[in-house]
Amino acid sequence: MALIVQKFGGSSVANAERVMNVARIVSETYKKGNDVVVVVSAQGDTTDDLIAKAEEINPNAPKREMDQLLAAGEEISISLLAMAIETLGCPAISLLGWQAGFNTNSVYGAARIKNIRPNRLQAELAKHNIVVVAGFQGINRYDDLTTLGRGGSDTSAVAIAAALHADKCQIFTDVEGVYTADPRKVEGAKKLKEITYDEMLELATLGAQVLNNRSVEMAKKYSVELEVLSSLNPIPGTIVKEATKMEKMLIRGVTKDKDVALVSVLGVQDNPGVAFKLFSKLSQKNINVDIILQSFGRNNTKDIVFTVTKENGPVAVELLSDLPVLDGAKFVCNTDVAKVSIVGAGMESHPGTASKMFEALYERGINIKMISTSEIKISVIIDSEDADRAVSAVHNAFIPND
Ligand code: ASP
Ligand code: MG
């Protein structure tokens, strides 16, 4: 007998047949004697469709109204799922975010959960109901609806698991788990049995689209063990948990991110405060900078090179070209680049990981433009046309094809 939180993404409830499939998974879990809370996202592309509808009417719609609108997507899926579960002979009740006690701050469109008042959830569980909760939404202190940002239902599920001290939080999706690389693109990509929170966080940030990164942060903070698994194929998925509970692997995954622009600011004055003024200008405009490289000063000038998203590349150049402190500098924006990264907690204690990655790239004649490392990650910036070959080469070097 356990308390299990199960979350199903939009593709898992896209149509009536899929909703019935989810109802069967949930009912089976319940019939084994477990207490079950289910969190669901909006069906298929519903959220995108609602955004498109709003844009037709008002491209600058007030954010409060956008949240009021988007919350409707999840309202549809919870009621349909509760009805589906009833047909299988199990008692179910659907709850919107506010009914389930989700209190958030007031940042419409990107609200943070402040707390969950679990009284109603607990009361429904005590009545032996399967409780179906709308993901992605809550209520603020003005009693207005809020949403948590795209992909936010994962976070809703983890938050409920933490608040109720659930025994398990299962995230059902349309892939079978977390892989060492994108299995559609990389031959020999393997499904991982387990992965640490920190590794998952790096992979999520680097573009592996299985889990929303805020949900992984929260799972780590409250030690909620997650399982990522398929709603269509009933086989064990990938467990995300604490590092101390598992064997370290040198490399857990290889990722590629093509949404990168490389901005070079060449021939900058070699004076104090230049980097500060440059990057504060970007941060004032909410431009997030990823990798930064500065050359040694020579003849009183130096070069500063950094990466941002593709969209922000030209924006950054435009902003910086008016900055007095950069007078005389030359700007270049290269959007034909990609970032390839390896992630693994084992590299902390294993010398030679970087050189092994660089060797694999060298053997394929791939030139590295920038390198950045953290304790459990090494990223390189390369030409985007080399990205797929680079991922395969690096994957092959660390995770041999068997
Ligand atoms: N329906 C929302 C979205 O599409 C939330 C989610 O799917 O987690 O972003
Ligand atoms: Mg969705």
Whether the Cβ atoms of residue 191 and residue 132 lie closer than 8 Å to each other: no
Q: Which residues are close to ligand 2, an ion, with C-beta < 5 A?
A: 10, 41
User: Given this model, what pLDDT does residue 133 score?
Assistant: 98
Average pLDDT, the chain: 95
CA 120, CA 360: separation in Å to the nearest integer? 55
Q: Give me ligand 1 centre to Cα 151, in Å.
A: 4
Query: Does ligand 1 come within 6 angstroms of the Cβ of 196?
Result: no
One-letter identity of residue 162: A
Q: Give me ligand 2 centre to Cα 228, in Å.
A: 16
Bridge partner list, 334: 262
Residue of 8, 47, 148 to test ligand 1 pocket, by largest number of atoms within 8 Å of CB: 47
Residue nearest to atom 7 of ligand 1 (CA): 151
Quick check: 45 pLDDT over 70? yes
Write out the two tokens for 359.
């060797």
Residue 41 pLDDT grade (very low, low, confident, very high; cuts 50, 70, 90): very high
Buried-exposed string 67-83: b where 16+ CB fall within 10 A, e elsewhere? bbbbbebbbebbebbbe
User: Given this model, what pLDDT does residue 249 score?
Assistant: 78
Query: Does ligand 1 come within 6 angstroms of the Cβ of 47?
Result: yes
- Intra-chain end-to-end CA distance of the chain, in Å: 39
Write out the two tokens for 101.
């006690």
DSSP letter for 366, please: P
User: Given this model, what pLDDT does residue 204 score?
Assistant: 84
Quick check: 282 pLDDT over 90? yes
Residue 20 pLDDT grade (very low, low, confident, very high; cuts 50, 70, 90): very high
Q: What mean pLDDT do residues 339-366 have?
A: 94
Residue of 49, 148, 153, 213 to test ligand 1 pocket, by largest number of atoms within 8 Å of CB: 153
Poorest-pLDDT segment among 106-120, 167-181, 238-252? 238-252
Query: Does ligand 1 come within 6 angstroms of the Cβ of 73?
Result: yes
Query: Does ligand 1 come within 6 angstroms of the Cβ of 344?
Result: no
Q: What mean pLDDT do residues 1-21 have?
A: 97
Q: Give me ligand 1 centre to Cα 146, in Å.
A: 13
CA 309, CA 401: separation in Å to the nearest integer? 32
Write out the two tokens for 361.
């790239």
- CA-based radius of gyration for the chain: 24
Bridge partner list, 170: 6, 227
Query: Does ligand 1 come within 6 angstroms of the Cβ of 155?
Result: no
What are the tens digits of pLDDT across the range 213-225? Answer: 899 999 999 999 9
Burial class (CB in 10 A: 0-12, 13-18, 19+), 380: buried
Residue nearest to atom 8 of ligand 1 (CA): 151
Whether the Cβ atoms of residue 6 and residue 38 lie closer than 8 Å to each other: yes
Q: Report percent pLDDT > 90 for the chain.
A: 91
Residue of 11, 75, 113, 150 to test ligand 1 pocket, by largest number of atoms within 8 Å of CB: 150
Dihedral, CA atoms, 154, 156, 157, 162, nearest 10 degrees? 120
- Helix, strand, coil percent content, the chain, rounded in steps of 5: 40, 25, 35
Instruction: Report residue 345: phi and psi, to 5°.
Output: -70, -20
**Ligand 1 atom nearest to 9, measured from its CA:** 7
Q: Give me ligand 1 centre to Cα 74, in Å.
A: 8
Ligand closest to the CA atom of residue 214: 1
Q: What mean pLDDT do residues 158-168 have?
A: 97
User: Given this model, what pLDDT does residue 173 score?
Assistant: 92
User: Given this model, what pLDDT does residue 229 score?
Assistant: 96
Buried-exposed string 136-170: b where 16+ CB fall within 10 A, e elsewhere? bbbbbeeeebbbbeebbbbbbbbbbbbbbebebbb
Name the pairing type of β-strands 168-173 and 226-230: parallel
Q: What mean pLDDT do residues 35-59 have?
A: 98
Triad 55, 56, 61: Cα angle to 5°: 40
Triad 302, 305, 307: Cα angle to 5°: 165
**Ligand 1 atom nearest to 154, measured from its CA:** 8
What are the tens digits of pLDDT across the range 88-139? Answer: 999 999 999 999 999 999 999 999 999 999 999 999 999 999 999 999 999 9
Quick check: 351 pLDDT over 90? no
Quick check: 232 pLDDT over 70? yes
Query: Does ligand 1 come within 6 angstroms of the Cβ of 237?
Result: no
Q: Give me ligand 2 centre to Cα 300, in Å.
A: 52
Q: What mean pLDDT do residues 365-392 have?
A: 96
Residue 85 pLDDT grade (very low, low, confident, very high; cuts 50, 70, 90): very high
Query: Does ligand 1 come within 6 angstroms of the Cβ of 10?
Result: yes
Name the pairing type of β-strands 370-374 and 330-343: unpaired
One-letter identity of residue 132: V
**Ligand 1 atom nearest to 150, measured from its CA:** 9
User: Given this model, what pLDDT does residue 154 score?
Assistant: 97
Bridge partner list, 333: 263
Q: Which residues contact 66 (CB under 8 A, 6 or more apart)?
A: 51, 54, 108, 109, 147
Q: Give me ligand 1 centre to Cα 24, in Å.
A: 22
Write out the two tokens for 181.
């690389």
User: Given this model, what pLDDT does residue 245 score?
Assistant: 77
User: Given this model, what pLDDT does residue 383 score?
Assistant: 98
